[in-house]
Amino acid sequence: MAFVRMIDEAQATGLLAENYRLVAERYTHGLGFPMPTPELYKVSSIVPAYTHALSESQRLLTGDGQHYCESDAAVPRLFAGFCVAALSACFH
Amino acid sequence: VLPQLYPDPQVVAQLLDDFERADIPWPHKLAWRFGKRFVQSSWEAGAAQIQELRDAGICDAEILRWAEGACVQTWWVMSADGGGVALDGFTPSQGRVVGLEREAYEAETLRTGAAPGVAAAARRASVGGDVAWVEMDLERSEYRQAAAWAEARYGFVPNFFKAFSLRPPLYPRHQRALELLEAPISGSLTPRQHALVRGLVSGLNRSAYGAVTSRALLERVAPGEPLWDRVSGDYTLHEWSPAERAVLDFAAKMALTSYKVTDKDPARLRELGLNDAAYVEVINVVSIQSSIERAANILGVAPDAGPLLAREA
C-alpha cells in the first residue's frame, strides 16, 4: 500500500524502535485509548533521523502527550492545524 | 475531534464546505483562517492579520502556538501524502470515499493556491518590527540557550529564533530541523539535487526568508552556475539532467499538491536510478522547509544576515 519500503515495529531496532514506542505511548495517553504507532511515522523509517525528528515534533506539540484537547482554549490551535490538513486535501 | 466539538453533522459539513459561513465560535473561525492562509498563501500575510488576532483577544504567545501547530501539521501532511500511507483504521471502501483514490485528483481543481515557478518575493512592507510582526522576549533563558547554539553554528542568531521567543518549546525541534535541512543525510540524494530542491521550494513558497539559505547552498554546490535563477523561477523552461528534472518535478508536486502523489512518483525516480531513501529525503526536505518558510511568511520574519549553513561545513 505504501509507496516506499517501511520498517514496521517488529523489524525496528535501536532509536527507531524507541521512537515508535514513545509515539504510540503519547497518542495512547493523549487520546485515552490504545493507539499503535501511526503509519505516518514509518514513512521515513529507512532514514531514521527523519522519523526521530517527527517523533520529537509530536512530543513538543503535545507536551509529551499531555494535551491533545485538554480545554476549550486548546481548540483554536487544533483548528489551525486541522485546517492545514483539510485544505491540503490530506485525509490521513 | 470535530464531531466532539460540533455534534451536529451539518455544522461539520458546512465547515469543510465554507468555513466562513459555518456556525462556529469566532476564535475557531480565526484559527481556521490562519491555517488557510498558512497552507494556501502565506506570502500574502501582513502585520494587519496579526493585529486582527490581537484585537480579538488572542495573545502573541497563542498566535505562535497556532503557527507551531500549522508548521508541524505541514510536515505530517506531506509525509503522509508522499509516503502513501494507508488511512489508519479505514477499510478500502471508506478510503475511496475520503480520498484514497489519488489518481482521481489529477482531474480535480483542488490546489494549494501557489502557482509554480515564482521567485521569492521581498518581505511585504508592513507595519511591524524589523525582525518579525510578533512580540519578543529576548531575555528568556530558553531563548538565550537557543541563541547561543545558533551563534556557535552560524555566527549569528536567526530572526526565526527571535520571532519564536514567546514559544520556546519550539526550539529543540527547529534546531533539529535546520540540521536535517543543511545537507542530504542518507547519501542517496546528491548535494546538487538536494540544493536544487531547496531552491525550488523557496521559490514556490515565495520565501524571502528561505531564499537567503537556498541561494547560498546552490552557489556552494555549483559555483558560478546560475542555478538559483533557473530553479526559483519557472524551472520547466530550463534543461536538466533526467534525474534532476524528475527530482524537481516530484518536489514541486509535493510542495503544491502533495495529495496528487501516487506510486508512480517513486517508480519514476527508481527508473532513473534513485532509490527509496532519496525519495524519502525529498519528501522531508520539501515538508520541513515548507513548514519553516510558511511560518516565516505568516509571522513576517525578516531575512537573516546570512545563510543558515554551519560555519565549519
* Per-residue pLDDT in tens (0 to 9) along chain A, 92 residues: 688 889 999 999 999 999 999 999 988 887 778 888 888 899 999 999 999 999 988 887 777 766 655 556 677 777 777 777 766 655 55
Place of cell 488572542: B58
Residue pLDDT, tens place only, B154-194 = 999 999 999 999 999 889 989 999 999 999 999 899 999 99
Question: If you measure CA to CA, which chain A residue comes closest to B96?
Answer: A91
Residues of chain B contacting residue A37, judged by C-beta atoms under 8 Å apart: none
Could you give the CA distance from residue B263 to residue B194 in angstroms, rounded to a whole number?
A: 21
Interface with chain A: mutation pick from B19, B24, B85, highest number of A CBs within 10 Å: B85
In angstroms, the Cα distances linking B242 to B44, B225, B239, B262, B270 are 34, 18, 9, 19, 12
| Positive or negative torsion for Cα B161, A18, B86, B277 | positive
DSSP state of B301: P
pLDDT of residue B123: 52
Is B31 within 8 Å of A80 when comparing Cβ atoms? yes
pLDDT of residue B94: 42
In angstroms, the Cα distances linking B245 to A59, B54, B135, B164, B218 are 36, 44, 42, 36, 16
Contact status of A15 with chain B (Cβ, < 8 Å): no
Q: With 0-12 CB in 10 A as exposed, 13-18 as middle and 19+ as buried, what is A76? A: buried
User: Between residues 54 and 83 of chain A, which touch chain B (CB distance below 8 Å)?
Assistant: 54, 56-58, 60-61, 63, 69, 75-83
Least confident of A55-64, B50-59, B99-108, B187-196: B99-108
- CA nearest to A47, candidates B276, B147, B20: B276
Alpha carbon of A40: minimum distance to chain B alpha carbons (Å): 5
Q: How confident is the model at residue B116 (pLDDT cuts 50, 70, 90)?
A: very low
Contact status of A92 with chain B (Cβ, < 8 Å): yes
- CA nearest to B35, candidates B300, B291, B301: B291
| Positive or negative torsion for Cα B244, B246, B251, B256 | positive
Q: Residue B306: phi, psi to the nearest 5?
A: -155, 175
Q: Cβ contacts of residue A5 below 8 Å, gap of 6+?
A: A46, B276
Does the pLDDT at position B110 exceed 50?
no
3-state secondary structure of B11: helix
DSSP state of B127: S
Least confident of A81-85, B78-82, B124-128, B142-146: B124-128
| B132 and B299 Cβ atoms separated by less than 8 Å | yes
Could you give the CA distance from residue B248 to residue A68 in angstroms, rounded to a whole number?
A: 36
- CA nearest to B258, candidates A43, A58, A8, A56: A43
| B102 and B259 Cβ atoms separated by less than 8 Å | yes
Q: With 0-12 CB in 10 A as exposed, 13-18 as middle and 19+ as buried, what is B7? A: exposed
| B287 and B79 Cβ atoms separated by less than 8 Å | yes
Place of cell 542568531: B157
Place of cell 538559483: B228
